[in-house]
């Protein structure tokens, strides 16, 4: 292998590593954004027209609809009580300028003297590279409830 070929292979590997790191940062921006009341900023983690499918609870499409989730009374009550949306480290599959990620997420709520897991979900994200960096095309989550639907989402890490 020539020096040029080795350099090209190294550049490709570095690009993939940088893309994965940017995606991890993007997904981990979500929790602090929604928990601090910055719903508009959180909505812009998606592309225009992007979709957030909340597993039967709601399907939001587009910046305004997604941002509306975070101004709802239910969400506002949660963040003013003490709430943390946590995203576990995702398994990312790169496909050039698109990617898929699968990870667990948890909503932790303050209750009494401690915090309790309010919801545990498994998530699948479809992402794309834009001129503003990586953005979410679609995110769907399914409650970890033993259902075949949640297991199917988990199995996406194997594909």
Task: Write out pLDDT tens, residues 129-140.
Answer: 999 999 999 999
Q: Does domain 3-158 have CATH number 3.10.450.50?
A: yes
**pLDDT value of position 57:** 84
- Domain-wise residue ranges, the chain: 3-158
What DSSP character marks residue 159?
-
Residue 56 has pLDDT above 90, yes or no: no
Residue 157 has pLDDT above 90, yes or no: no
Q: What is the pLDDT of residues 63-112, one digit of tens each?
A: 999 999 999 999 999 999 999 999 999 999 999 999 999 999 999 999 99
State the Cα angle at 22 between 94 and 8, rounded to 5°: 55
pTM, two decimals, is 0.93
Alpha-carbon distance of 46 to 31, in angstroms, equals 14
Residue 15: count other Cβ atoms within 10 Å of its Cβ: 11
């Amino acid at each position: 292998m020539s020096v040029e070929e080795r350099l090209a292979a190294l550049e490709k590997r570095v690009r993939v590593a940088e893309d994965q790191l940017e995606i991890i940062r993007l997904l981990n921006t979500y929790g602090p954004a929604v928990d601090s009341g910055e719903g508009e900023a959180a909505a812009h983690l998606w592309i225009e027209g992007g979709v957030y499918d909340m597993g039967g609870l709601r399907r939001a499409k587009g910046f305004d609809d997604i941002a509306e989730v975070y101004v709802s009374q239910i969400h506002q009550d949660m963040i003013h009580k003490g709430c943390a949306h946590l995203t576990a480290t995702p398994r990312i599959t790169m496909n050039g300028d698109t990617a898929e990620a699968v990870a667990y997420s948890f909503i932790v709520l303050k209750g009494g003297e401690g915090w309790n897991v309010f919801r545990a979900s498994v998530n699948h994200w479809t992402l794309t590279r834009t001129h503003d960096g990586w953005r979410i095309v679609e995110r769907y989550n399914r409650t970890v409830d033993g259902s075949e639907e949640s297991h199917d989402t988990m199995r996406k890490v194997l594909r």
